Amino acid sequence: MNGRLVALLKLLVIFSFLAIAAFFTVMTVSGFRQPAAPAEENGNGAASGNGIGSRSPTLLDTLKELESFSVRHLRQIWQLGIPGEVYLAADGGTLYASSSSGAVYCIDAATGAVKWSYNLGGWISAPPVASGGVVYVGSANHFLYALDAQTGALLWFFQAQGEILSTPVESGGVVFFFADNDSIFDLVNRLYALDARSGAQLWAYDTKSWTASPPAVDSGAVFIGGSKSEVKALEKHTGEMLWSRQVDSVVFTSPCVDGNRVLFSTANGWLYSLDAATGEPLWQRNISAFTPTSPLAVGDNLYVSSYQGRLTALSLQNGEPQWFLANAGELADAPGSPSDRLYTFAPGGVITWIESSSGRRRGVLLAPSGFSGTPLIYDGRVFAVSPDNVVRAYVTSDGMPLGSAPFPR
């Protein structure tokens, strides 16, 4: 009788240990997801509520989440070594890479074969952009170049007042970009607007509100931030200032335009939504964290990554917090992805798929190499630069495209 009692007690101890271990494993995988923290007052003085409910998730909630969780490995399909620091962009079935060594590459996204390359002769610090059959890229040698996307032939070049440190933006046949004046004592940012076909200058606007981030553009205006703690709207075709709005801190990342709203973050953790036509505040919210990347508007929500790896979702309508996710990583570049999912990444080679409506982690993709910058998730594949400056292309281990639904298990 005593032996059976001892055995039963042992089983109970083992079961308790396994339950505790399972609990901590589940909580680690789920990233200790919490309800949204109380936000500061909005621009209208109204206090915000919590995100997805006021209670913490129970063990049952977390177990249900883990049940649909998928861990998959990425399989490399090609690699290409490029000298220098490398930046990526994609258009159609083609990948474009710029290197700090001064070269631009056109790469077949399916095979990794180099279709053409062009040496600009100057340091490049940002990705190129491809639009309308033309590749635009700026260089530290003060020139903006336009290359034929199919052949790499030089179509035109334009000499600016100084270094071009960010990606150009093409919209409606006009190319917009910033160049500084190479001075650390009296730094002036000049915003240029060029005819996309000829490279002819249409207008320029000077500001001492310096930024290395590209402007945001809609059908009628260009929106710029910068070091002077203000956001401005310029008329798209003339460069005439439409409005200016002073904010609480510097705006180093690009604004985001969504319909009739322009949204942006400041260095000290405030998010603003302004009326794009007038600059009047719609709402503002403090998430108390520096956001190194531009906010992302998808569906009804605005998503923001902070430098601690926290991902926050807010309502586009009123800025109310919807959910936040600790230890989520940084938002990946995923153009064309379904609106029901977000991708984040960690430098060690981890990509996480997050359900955009709820903030639940639904799957993890593990790459065999780390990421030296933001991976590009495009056309069912992952393109990333590893720390040894090698461009690598991945698919899931079973070959299923990342855009498929449900997430591959």
* 69 band by pLDDT with thresholds 50, 70 and 90: confident
Torsion over CA of 151, 153, 156 and 157, rounded to 10 degrees? 110
Higher pLDDT, 158 or 21: 158
- Phi/psi at 171 (5° precision): -150, 120
Q: Determine which of 11-25, 168-182, 192-206, 238-252 has the lowest per-residue pLDDT on average.
A: 11-25
Q: Taking the CA of residue 76 as centre, how many other CA atoms within 13 Å lie in the half-sphere pointing to its CB?
A: 15
Higher pLDDT, 66 or 134: 134
- Examine residue 368 and say whether the peptide bond preceding it is cis (omega within 30 degrees of 0): no
Please give the pLDDT value at position 331.
93
Evaluate whether 177 touches 216 at the Cβ level (below 8 Å). no
Helix (H) or strand (E) holding 323: strand 321-325
* 64 band by pLDDT with thresholds 50, 70 and 90: low
Of 57-61, 89-93, 146-150, highest mean pLDDT? 146-150
DSSP secondary structure letters along 198-252: T--EEEEEEESS--SSPPEE-SSEEEE-BTTSEEEEEETTT--EEEEEE-SS-B-
Res. 409: pLDDT tops 50: no
Beta bridge partners of residue 143, listed in sequence order: 159
Please give the pLDDT value at position 208.
87
Question: How far apart are the C-alpha atoms of 104 and 109, rounded to whole Å?
Answer: 15
* 57 band by pLDDT with thresholds 50, 70 and 90: low
User: Over the stretch 380-392, which tens digit does the pLDDT of each residue have?
Assistant: 899 999 999 999 9
Q: What is the mean pLDDT of residues 302-313?
A: 91
pLDDT averaged over every residue in the chain: 83
Q: CA distances (Å), 339 to each of 31, 302, 381, in order?
A: 22, 12, 17
Question: How far apart are the C-alpha atoms of 284 and 344, rounded to whole Å?
Answer: 25
Please give the pLDDT value at position 86.
95
DSSP-derived secondary structure letter, 39: P
* 220 band by pLDDT with thresholds 50, 70 and 90: very high
Q: Which two tokens stand for residue 118?
A: 């062009």
Q: Which two tokens stand for residue 297?
A: 């508007």
In the numeric block, the tokens 């650390």 are attached to 184
Torsion over CA of 291, 293, 294 and 295, rounded to 10 degrees? -60
* 47 band by pLDDT with thresholds 50, 70 and 90: very low
Name which of 156, 169, 267, 183 is nearest 206 in CA terms: 183
Q: Determine which of 26-35, 157-166, 184-193 has the lowest per-residue pLDDT on average.
A: 26-35
Residues 6+ apart with CB under 8 A from 184: none
Please give the pLDDT value at position 67.
58
Please give the pLDDT value at position 6.
41
Res. 54: pLDDT tops 60: no
Evaluate whether 355 touches 35 at the Cβ level (below 8 Å). no
Percent of the chain having pLDDT more than 70? 80
Question: How far apart are the C-alpha atoms of 208 and 89, rounded to whole Å?
Answer: 29
Cα radius of gyration (the chain): 24
Res. 71: pLDDT tops 70: yes
Residues 6+ apart with CB under 8 A from 64: none
Res. 24: pLDDT tops 60: no
Please give the pLDDT value at position 20.
38
Please give the pLDDT value at position 40.
40
- Number of helical H runs and strand E runs in the chain: 2, 32
Res. 371: pLDDT tops 80: yes
Please give the pLDDT value at position 288.
82
Name which of 224, 283, 290 is nearest 255 in CA terms: 224
Q: Which two tokens stand for residue 330?
A: 């940084």
* 66 band by pLDDT with thresholds 50, 70 and 90: low
Name which of 345, 313, 347, 311 is nearest 326 in CA terms: 311
In the numeric block, the tokens 């890479």 are attached to 97
Q: CA distances (Å), 25 to each of 18, 22, 34, in order?
A: 10, 5, 16
Give residue 223's Cα distance to chain centre.
18
What is the model's pTM? 0.82
Please give the pLDDT value at position 287.
87
Res. 151: pLDDT tops 80: yes
Q: Determine which of 277-281, 305-309, 325-329 has the lowest per-residue pLDDT on average.
A: 305-309
Percent of the chain having pLDDT more than 90? 64
Beta bridge partners of residue 202, listed in sequence order: none
